[in-house]
């Protein structure tokens, strides 16, 4: 089903290129591990198992990690009402609605496709936003589902996850070894660790580049669907400012899921940190929303196109 969210060919192209490059990297990674570990069965079974788990259970893992739970209409009627209205406007299936008992104001969408998606908001977000601001945030999250970039970012992040796990495994294996390994074994472990670290770094940069663009695409699609870019801009400003004031220790759990969040759980990110951010800067997002607002005003004016 094609939703009424504005399609974005550049986002589709970027998702395709990212998946293609990560696919090549994944094949090279598996071949390198098979060559180093001399066991293609072990490598293929473990890699396929983790990929399947990441694809099928990503929504459950995300909800569990962020202390989210599925809520029914009777418990959160206003939240369900906003999601119902947006899904009707966008002509898309309604996702599962969840709430996370966290003071951090944020929201995220996850799931393998529009028919198996979850949209989760924190109680901190519900408490801080006005109804029109909440609608803008939820429209942003629903656009991720409609554009299918949630599924793409889930699959894309898999390579970084498995590479990171292998790096940790190799490190702790060396750390807690009894020192009786021969030189060849040590060389193999060092090679595996080096290859995994390189793969993690490359996948990290590719995912960051895609993630920043998809956030701008979601802002744009949400603003055009609701017709109120100013409400989304207000929500962005409010949420970003409040997250910056939350103690870092309260954000550590959330940081692993920054690529899925409405705004990153890092507060303000000065200098070089922006290069590695999962999101564009607040200024970029507000500038884009300002341009969309001007375009909508011009189109609505007498004689506008």
- Please calculate the CA angle 261-290-297 and round it to the nearest 5 degrees: 125
d(CA 60, CA 41) in angstroms, rounded, equals 28
Query: Average pLDDT of 237-249?
Result: 83
pLDDT number for residue 119: 95
Instruction: Work out the burial of residue 85: count CB atoms within 10 Å of its CB; fewer than 13 is exposed, 13-18 middle, 19 or more buried.
Output: middle
Q: Which residues are catalytic?
A: 141
Question: For 99-134, what is each residue's pLDDT tens digit?
Answer: 999 889 999 998 888 888 999 999 999 999 999 999
d(CA 233, CA 218) in angstroms, rounded, equals 13
Band the pLDDT of 283: cuts 50, 70, 90.
very high
Question: For 175-196, what is each residue's pLDDT tens digit?
Answer: 445 555 556 666 776 777 777 7
What is the residue-wise DSSP string for 252-263? HHHHTTGGGBSS
- In the block, tokens 């009424």 appear at 4
Alpha helices in the chain (DSSP H): 9-37, 40-65, 77-90, 123-128, 131-147, 149-175, 183-226, 229-244, 252-255, 282-300
Question: For 286-303, what is each residue's pLDDT tens digit?
Answer: 999 999 999 988 877 666
| CA dihedral over 208, 211, 217, 223, signed as positive or negative | negative
Q: pTM score, two decimals? A: 0.82
Instruction: Work out the burial of residue 37: count CB atoms within 10 Å of its CB; fewer than 13 is exposed, 13-18 middle, 19 or more buried.
Output: middle
140 is in an annotated binding site: yes
pLDDT number for residue 158: 65
Q: Which two tokens stand for residue 145?
A: 């589902």
Mean pLDDT, the chain, integer? 81
d(CA 66, CA 254) in angstroms, rounded, equals 7
pLDDT number for residue 6: 75
Higher pLDDT, 47 or 303: 47
- In the block, tokens 């369900």 appear at 80
Length of the chain: 305
pLDDT number for residue 169: 65
Cβ atoms 62, 260 nearer than 8 A: yes
pLDDT number for residue 260: 81
72 is in an annotated binding site: no
Ordered by start, the domain boundaries in the chain are 9-300
Query: Which residue in 222, 193, 191 sits closest to 285, CA to CA?
Result: 222
80 is in an annotated binding site: no
At 93 the three-state DSSP class reads coil
- In the block, tokens 């803008």 appear at 136
Cβ atoms 231, 135 nearer than 8 A: yes
> Any residues with CB less than 8 A from the CB of 232 and at least 6 apart, and which?
133, 136, 137, 139, 140, 219, 222, 223, 226, 289
Q: Which two tokens stand for residue 229?
A: 């870019």
The percentage of the chain sitting over the pLDDT mark of 90, rounded to a whole number, equals 36
């Amino acid at each position: 089903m094609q939703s009424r969210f504005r399609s974005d060919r550049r986002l589709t192209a970027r998702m395709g290129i990212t998946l293609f490059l990560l696919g090549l990297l994944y094949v090279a990674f598996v071949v390198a591990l098979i060559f180093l570990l001399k066991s293609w069965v072990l490598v293929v079974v473990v890699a396929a198992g983790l990929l399947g788990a990441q694809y099928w259970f990503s929504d459950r893992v995300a909800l569990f990690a962020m202390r989210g739970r599925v809520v029914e209409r009777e418990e959160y009627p206003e939240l369900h009402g906003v999601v119902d209205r947006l899904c009707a406007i966008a002509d898309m299936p309604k996702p599962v609605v969840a709430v996370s008992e966290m003071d951090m104001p944020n929201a995220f969408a996850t799931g393998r496709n529009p028919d198996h998606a979850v949209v989760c908001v924190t109680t901190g977000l519900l408490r801080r936003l006005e109804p029109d601001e909440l609608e803008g945030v939820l429209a942003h999250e629903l656009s991720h589902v409609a554009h299918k970039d949630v599924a793409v970012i889930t699959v894309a992040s898999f390579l970084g996850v498995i590479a990171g796990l292998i790096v940790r495994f190799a490190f702790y294996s060396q750390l807690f070894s009894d020192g009786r390994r021969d030189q060849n074994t040590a060389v193999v472990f060092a090679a595996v660790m080096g290859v995994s670290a390189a793969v993690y770094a490359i996948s990290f940069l590719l995912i960051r580049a895609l993630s920043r663009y998809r956030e701008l695409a979601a802002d744009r699609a949400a603003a055009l669907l609701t017709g109120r870019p100013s409400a989304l801009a207000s929500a962005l400003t409010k949420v970003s400012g409040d997250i910056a004031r939350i103690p870092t220790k309260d954000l550590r759990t959330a940081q692993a899921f920054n690529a899925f969040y409405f705004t990153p759980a890092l507060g303000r990110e000065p200098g070089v940190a922006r290069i590695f951010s999962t999101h564009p800067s607040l200024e970029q997002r507000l500038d884009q929303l300002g341009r969309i607002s001007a375009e909508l005003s011009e189109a609505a004016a007498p004689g506008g196109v």
